[in-house]
Each structure stands twice: as structure tokens, then as C-alpha cells.
Chains A and B, each alone.
Chain A
């Protein structure tokens, strides 16, 4: 009987001494628990596990390679492994094949860090006096990865492909009408000049066509239905050489790139859907960095950089996070109730505590990354909120339904905090966690009082956002049941369509933003940031508005 306790204990003792770092009691506890688990497969010498499972091999062969590398001199061409949460190259059946952040394809018009249009494959451009024609001068001496020269014919082939049916994508649906409203025809002026002709003046066309709006691929890259017939063939500093869906993709430096060549020779980007697992892979040095939207949560990022091996980088993103009030039904059909709900939210606490300060509180409907953004002070006034709410509700309390997206772990916590504040103005929220698509359905049916959402900018033209959220027939206004209709906004938006003067445009946009902050058709919470973490073995790992400057990264000296 005494053996009963002795035999396993001796085994248990071995494991912790190996595994335990002596850091925290938590690790010790976990290790002990784990040792008990391991006992189960390892305790008997005849354990069948060994027959079938490589239970004995791990320690010997799978020690992370990165650890070994630390001692050897840095090989600048060694493969760099990164990870994101989804397929950054969804493949042939995606309208773009891969995300712009891979730098495989390039647009005619790119954007700078303030989201202003800058030359891409088009070196230069001009708009005709009446705003009906745009002429683009193409960069010369550029070839696609498959060797095809980039010229006016290639551009025409790409425009032809954008016509026809809407092409679906993990990023943005692709259709010529989205990025080129009122486009009549595309003309080849000469081999390196292309002209777009519009039926209406198109003064802000450049903003419509940045990045995803003017992606260029080799004319031989398309299948008959306008998708792709193989790996994407762009012009960018990286060529895509391998793409195994849901596992990884491999980029190689484009040695023939016309501009500054990429620093890294090979970059492998793995797909690791779970943020916790990405964190673990960072810790274990299996990956050197994360990228893409929601690459890491603020809490985990802060946790990771406690370890001095790691750094973080953040910058503005195009995303705004907000609440959707159902403006077609009581109580949020009353502007005072929306104002009350907005004023009771302590956005500073909200962003600083829950999002660790990654984000900027806002009451403006427009994201801060567009050049049209107008900074409006954020109001927080619980007394005024209570007074306004009392005007609407009297001394009644009102039960409300509040939908949040279960796909984002933090939204639930946010909602719990928000509902405590709302209870101060007489609103008793029932939180419902659902998938985003289910939330959308509920909103269409109008069963919500509040819902949590976010909106990115598909281009930097501010009017797109105003049109969709603030005009009576705007798709988000209708789909989210904002019930927003303001004659002044309608009038201003009508004026914008023909407005060629950029200053006057700015003035109009500013007024609309002020109206949005005052009347809260949606209740903005904060402007989001792009947040990335990386291993300090890498240099130049800098977050960008949409992703990361991939060509710049390389091994640190």
C-alpha cells in the first residue's frame, strides 16, 4: 500500500524541477497539475501511448529553432516567420487574391499615413476643368511578377475585369461602381497614359480609388469569370511563391522591383486563428511578429512586452468603434435620449481601462485617419445626461436590449461596463451576445435598442461614410435602423456632389461632423489603433494605418 503514494510522487518531482523556472507560484501550480496529467501517459513503462505517439521525442528534437539561432551570427536572408488570425491570401476565388499588406500587388493610387492619395503605379495625374475626366500617367519600366510589362493595356484589362458581377472577397467586395461611381469609359491615350471618363463630375475620385480601389494584376492572371487562375501576379516588392490555405504563405523578395527592394529575403506568414495561441507562439519564438487586424489584444500586448525580448508598435487605424441606437423606436428615436446615452459614457475610463489606452475617445462619426477629419472635443457630463434622460423617460425606467458581437472577446466586458452607466440614466440593458451576422439580422428586424459595431474606411472619401449613415436612404442608416433624417445634412450632401473646390468641401464635411457629434445618429466610442507586437530580433517592425510596412522589416543586427 505504501508504494501507492511513493511511486507517482517520485515521478512528479522530476518534472517540476525541470520545468519550473522559479518565477511565480502560478507556474509551479500549473506544472504540478500538468505533471499529474503527464503521469497518466507516462507513469507505466508499458504505457501504450509510446507505441503510437511520439511522446518520447519532443524534448530531443523540437526545441524551437529560434532559440538555437541566438548564438550564431545573424543571417540576413534567414526566413522570417510571422502570423495573423486569418488567411491573408484567401486565394483564386477572392477578388483580390491577397491583402494589400503583403505588398504583392500595388494600386495605381496609394495613400500616405494621413490617408492622402500618393502616387502608386500611376506616377502622376490630372483632372479636367469640369471634373469629368481623370488622366493617369503610368510608371514606366515596371513588370509584373510573371514578366508581363505593366502598361495601359494591362490597366484596361484590369478595368474590364472590375466590370461584370460583383466579385466577393474577404477584404472588400470588388465592383467598378463602388470605386468608380458614374464611370463611362476607360481610354488608352498612349502606352503609358490612361484616361477615365465620368458622366458626373468626380472631384474626389482619387480618394475613391486608393489601395483596394485600383489594385493591378497581370492581364494573364485572370480566369474567365474575372477571378484568378493561379498565384497572384502583381508588381510589388514581394512575390507570392507558396500559399497553403489556413496554414501559411511564403513571400520572396522581388529582385526586379523598380523601387527600393525589400529587406527580407523570405517571409513566411502563418495562420493562427486564436489570439491566445498567437501569444504563446510569440513567447516560444516560433513566430517573430503578428500582423493584420486584431493581431493582438491590448491586454496581451502589454503582457508580452513585460518580457524585454518583445516590442510593440501602434498607429491610427481606419476603424471607428461605436454603438448603434435604434432610432426608429422609443427611446432612442428621441435625440435627447441618444445625447444622454452619449454623455453618460466615460470614454476616457472606457478606453484607458478596457483598452489599455489604445484608442482615442470620440463622438465624431468620421474616423481620424482621413484628411477630412475634424477634431471635436469629447463631452462627458453625467448630470446633463440624467437631466436629458429624465425629460424623455420621466421617472420611469426602461428595459432595453443590447446586442454585442461574441466574436470579439472584449465586447462583452465593454457591454457590462456600459450597461452599468446606462442604468444611471434609467435604462436597464439586457446584454445579448451573438455572432455579428445574427446581430445584423436582429437589427434588420428592429429588435434591438442598442448594438455594438465598428466601421472601417474602404477609402478615404469622407462622403462615403456620411452618405451611408446619415442620408435617409443610406444603407447603414436603413440596415441598422438609425432612423436618421436631418434636412440640413441632406442639403449639405446634395451640395457636395457638384462641389469642386476642396476647401468648400472641407467646410461642408466639418459641418456634418459637428452635426453628427451633436445629434449622435450613432454613438461613437473611440477611434481604434492598429496594434502589433514583435520580437526585437526584427528591425523596423512598424505598424501602419492598414497593417505593417512589410518590405522594411528584416533581422536586427
Chain B
């Protein structure tokens, strides 16, 4: 059996480095990019990697390296904002619903059921269709379709938790609802919330990519990884770098988000860490 010392944040290092790298590259894109990401050069279309264009050029002769540097900005911002907003909603509403019985629970559960009943992808597409595609409609669509999922899981967790003997004990001791909720229940949710946040952030990036794939993602000429992939769909067989470079970027971004979630969960799970230490 491998016995590791009480888990150094070794598994945090890689995802932190990756995420930090992506964030840094995105922030410093204007400084690092050798070309204007939107500069069209028709004479140099669909070129492979070279000394002048490190990652080659796209269908309009734009520098792929420069576009890739810029490409994570919008998706990252969008994913973070949407996940954070829907998680906030989910935590508040979910713990209210799970903790208090009666009408708050019923109201919130009903709303949750309604909104969870909506088919996510097509609802987002519909919103993009109604509002016009772009940052705002994506954000709205993402929040509308994901807050309910958070709420439902938080509610289930809280309901489960509050039946635990230790909570009942605290209640018998006369603790206020707020005290129980904020001091005893929410901290217990932390572990799962972190897991949820990371999986959801990952899924949000996925959802944005899927919408772009359907042609309803972020708007041109803004360089964005998902948009770059969907733009390159007709060309990737002969110019694979067009779809590989942004694809690998999304993959690495998702992978680091997921690894990060793992690492954080391990930290939160210290209690059950050495399950089989007999």
C-alpha cells in the first residue's frame, strides 16, 4: 500500500500552474501577442506553423498564436461569472429550502422543478435566439439553466444533514436557525460545494463550446477557442492545427479545472482520507 505523507498540496501544484498560466496568458495577451488577433491577411491563409507564425494562420490568414492567446478571455470570464452566480443562488435557495419546511421549501422546490425541467441546451439556444447571441444571452442562459441544479443538490444535502444527530443536538441546546445554518450546516456543505463548483465550471465551459458548435456562441471577430473550433470545422482535415490548438486549450483548461477540484476536495476530505488505515 502506498503511504504518502499527509498529502502535500502536490496535486494542487499542477492545476494551479496550468490555470495560472492560462489566466496569465489571457491577461497579458495584448503584451505577448506578436500580431493583432483580428488582422486579416488573405495572401497567407491556412499556413502551417512557421517562424513568422508560430502556430500558423487561419482561414482568413490571421495569426493563430495571437488568437489563441486572446481566445480564453471571454470563455473564462463567462464561465466563472455564470458558475459563481448560479452557485450563489443555489446555496442560498437550496439551504433555505432544505432547512425550513413548509412554504419556502415548496415554493423553491416548485421553481427548481420548473427550471430543471427545462431542457438545458435547447433552452440556451432559444435564449440566444431571442436576445441575440453574445455574452449577455450566454450568461443569462447559463445561470437560468444551472441554478436549479445547485439548489436541488444543496437542498438534498441540507435535508440529509439536518437529520444528523449532532444538528438535532445543537437544536435542542437552543441554537438559532441562523446559527445552525451558517455555523454548522453550510461548513459541512463546503466539500461538496467545491466539487460542484468545479464540475459546474467545467460543464459551463463545455456548454459554451457546445453553443458555439451550434453557431450561437460568442460573436465574431472576437477570438475565442470555441468559436475558433467551429470556424475551423470545414478545414480541420487538411489544416488540423486549426482545431487542435484551440481544442487542446479547452481540454487543458477543463483538465486543470477538474484536477483543481480534485485537489481541493482532497483537502476538504481530510476526515475520511485514510479510509483503509487499519
Contacts and interface: CB of A to CB of B under 8 A. Distances in A.
The answer to whether any beta carbons of A and B sit under 8 Å apart in the complex is yes
Interface of A: 1, 24, 26, 29, 275-276, 297, 299-300, 303, 306, 349, 353-354, 406-407, 409-410, 412-413, 415-417, 419-420, 431-435, 438
B60 A299 contact: no
Contacts of A420: 40
Classify the interface of chain A: helix, strand, loop or mixed.
Answer: helix
Task: For the complex of A and B, list the 5 residue pairs with the smallest distance between their C-beta atoms, beginning with the closest.
Answer: A26-B240, A406-B215, A299-B234, A420-B40, A416-B221
A417 B230 CA distance: 17
17 contacts: A26-B240, A26-B244, A29-B244, A276-B234, A299-B234, A353-B42, A353-B45, A406-B215, A407-B215, A415-B220, A416-B60, A416-B220, A417-B40, A417-B60, A431-B220, A433-B215, A435-B129
A349 B42 contact: yes
Given A353-B45, A406-B133, A433 B237 contact: no
B205 interface: no
A433 B132 CA distance: 8
Contacts of A303: 237-238
Contacts of B129: 434-435, 438
Contacts of A419: 221
B2 interface: yes
Nearest to A306: B238
B233 interface: yes
Contacts of B233: 276, 409
A297 B42 contact: no
Given A306-B238, A409-B230, A420-B40, 10 more contacts: A1-B2, A275-B234, A409-B233, A409-B234, A416-B221, A417-B42, A431-B219, A433-B216, A434-B129, A435-B129
Contacts of B59: 354, 413
A354 B60 CA distance: 8
Interface of B: 2, 38, 40, 42, 45, 59-60, 129, 132-133, 215-216, 219-221, 230-231, 233-235, 237-238, 240, 244
A277 B38 CA distance: 30
B2 A434 contact: no
Contact of A299 (B42, B132, B216, B235): B235
A276 B132 CA distance: 26
Contacts of A409: 215, 230-231, 233-234
A412 B42 contact: no
A432 B220 CA distance: 8
Contacts of B216: 406, 433
Contacts of B132: 432, 434, 438
A259 to B, nearest CB: 40
A433 B60 contact: no
B133 A416 contact: no
A438 B125 CA distance: 13
Contacts of A412: 215, 220, 231
Contacts of B60: 413, 416-417
A371 B59 CA distance: 36
Contacts of A29: 244
Nearest to A297: B234
A415 B129 CA distance: 19
Contacts of B219: 431-433
Nearest to A298: B234
A434 B59 CA distance: 21
Nearest to A412: B220
A543 B42 CA distance: 30
B227 to A, nearest CB: 9
A413 B233 CA distance: 12
A431 B221 contact: yes
Contacts of A416: 38, 40, 60, 220-221
A349 B40 CA distance: 13
A24 to B, nearest CB: 8
A414 to B, nearest CB: 10
A262 B38 CA distance: 52
Contacts of A297: 234
A417 B41 CA distance: 9
Nearest to B58: A413
Contacts of B215: 406-407, 409, 412, 433
A407 B219 CA distance: 14
Contacts of A306: 238
A29 B38 CA distance: 29
Nearest to B222: A431
Contacts of B230: 409
Contact of B234 (A300, A353, A433): A300
Contacts of B231: 409, 412-413
Nearest to A414: B60
Contacts of B45: 353
Nearest to A352: B42
A434 B215 CA distance: 9
A24 B241 CA distance: 13
Contacts of B237: 303
Contacts of A275: 234
Contacts of B221: 416, 419, 431
A406 to B, nearest CB: 4
A306 B133 CA distance: 36
A410 B133 CA distance: 17
A300 B129 CA distance: 28
B200 to A, nearest CB: 21
Contact of B220 (A24, A354, A433): A433
A15 to B, nearest CB: 19
B59, B215, B238, B240: which has the most chain A beta carbons within 10 Å? B215
Contacts of A413: 59-60, 231
Nearest to A429: B221
Nearest to B45: A353
